[in-house]
Amino acid sequence: MARSIFVPSVMIMMMMMAISLGSSEAGPSTYNVVSLGAKGDGKTDSTKAFLAAWSSACGSADHAIIYVPPGRFLLRNVDFNGKGCKNKDISFQIAGTLVAPSDYQAIGSSGNWIFFQDVNGVSFSGGVLDGQGTGLWDCKNSGRSCPIGATTLEFSNSNNIKIAGVTSLNSQMFHIVINGCNDVKIQGVKVTASGNSPNTDGIHVQQSSAVSILNSKIGTGDDCISIGPGTTNLWIENVACGPGHGISIGSLGKELNEAGVQNVTVKTTTFKGTQNGLRIKSWGRPSNGFAKNILFQHAVMVDVENPILIDQNYCPDHKGCPGQMSGVKVSDVTYQDVHGTSATEVAVKFDCSSGNPCSRIKLEDVKLTYKNQAAEASCSHAEGTASGLVQPSSCL
């Protein structure tokens, strides 16, 4: 009798110890935005609940999950600020859809919709971000005066960031921006907006290092991926682009003093019906910027207007380009295994700066056709080499 009572009570004590150890050391704390007042009805403003979840997650140093269940959650512009945040391991797990206000005036002048700044160790996964940008695009396309629009998702001055499995739909302006960050992994992202939506770049990276963009599908009205000044050690792999303006390094050289772009790998990409494929673009203005050590490898072009393009004479409206000559130095750019079809006769165009010719451009195994015939290549102020089968034949 005594023994049979003794044994279970010891077991209960051990179980209780295990539970208390578990809650203080192992399992993450989960903050469900619905428990904090959010409503997935598509019309109740849930901004406060998201901010409450963020401040609770930041209050502890343990791994925290901010969970958004299925449903449509209306969010105004929201700043997740990392200043004073104790936590270096916060995961947004999104099963539902975040919806921006349908009236673009509501957030159109704030610059950002979902904005992370000065954060460290944040992952953002799953879900749909619906920017509801069509009203603003119509305004811009009609030439009326309109707000500039909000970027859907931005990380600024942040480290150790993951964005995975996110769908961004109809952003007002850029879909995803990485600015001033280090160590960022973006994968399995889908960007969807109409081919005539203005300024809706898919993913824009600038002033950032060690960023990778993998396994993503981007269709939009501007660049699928744009790479701005100060980008180093960028890896892009397995990305499909179209509609859109291609993958673009630039615009560079708008400023006189500008950080350069270096060590960029763009590997295994497809472009369908895009305005450009692989592009480097700089303003025809004085600048000490540069782009160097760039590898474009394994690209397939289907009906692309400018499959391979370096354009150093960018000067919209022909204004503000004294001397019309770009100061940006473009060097060590390799195109390896690029093939498919061009929608225009000139499939390869190197239009470099007369003051700073492009140097060490390499073409290896490039085959681009126009209407089932040989396309053309055009070079100005470009120096480099060709090897393997190169069609159109190199003008370097």
Q: Which is nearer to ligand NAG, 102 or 232 (CB)?
A: 232
From 47-55, 231-239, 294-302, 334-342, give the range in contact with ligand NAG by CB under 6 A: 231-239
**Residue of 130, 201, 204, 222 marked catalytic:** 222
Among 29, 30, 187, 233, binds ligand NAG (CB under 6 A): 233
Site string for ligand NAG, 262-291 (x = CB under 6 A): -x-x--------------------------
Residue 235 C-beta: closest distance to ligand NAG, Å = 4
222 is catalytic: yes
Q: Is the omega angle on the peptide bond into residue 60 within 30 degrees of 0, that is, cis?
A: no
Site for ligand NAG in 237-266 (CB under 6 A): 263, 265
Nearest to 189, CA basis, from 127, 115, 100: 127
Determine the Cα–Cα distance for residues 361 and 352; give it in Å rounded to an integer.
11
Position among 190, 235, 298, 339 found at the interface with ligand NAG (CB under 6 A)? 235
Nearest approach in angstroms of CB 153 to ligand NAG is 22
Q: How many residues bind ligand NAG (CB under 6 A)?
A: 5
Q: What is the DSSP letter of 76?
A: -
Catalytic residue among 175, 204, 245, 381: 245
- Number of H helices and number of E strands within the chain? 3, 31
Q: Of 152, 143, 206, which is closest to residue 179 (Cα–Cα)?
A: 206
Catalytic (active site) residue 245: yes
Instruction: With contacts defined by CB under 6 A, name the span among 166-174, 227-235, 239-247, 295-303 that binds ligand NAG.
Output: 227-235
Residue 187 binding ligand NAG, by CB under 6 A? no
Taking alpha carbons only, the member of 119, 193, 189, 126 closest to residue 159 is 119
- Is residue 31 classed as helix, strand or coil in its secondary structure? strand
DSSP per-residue string spanning 254-310 = SSSS---EEEEEEEEEEEES-SEEEEEEEESS----EEEEEEEEEEEEEEESEEEEE
3-state secondary structure of 141: helix
Which segment (21-29, 159-167, 170-178, 233-241) binds ligand NAG by CB under 6 A?
A: 233-241
- Judged by beta carbon, residue 237 or residue 376, the one nearer ligand NAG is 237
State how far the Cα of 278 lies from the Cα of 291, in Å rounded to an integer: 14
Site of interaction with ligand NAG (CB under 6 A): 233-235, 263, 265
Q: Which residues are catalytic?
A: 222, 245
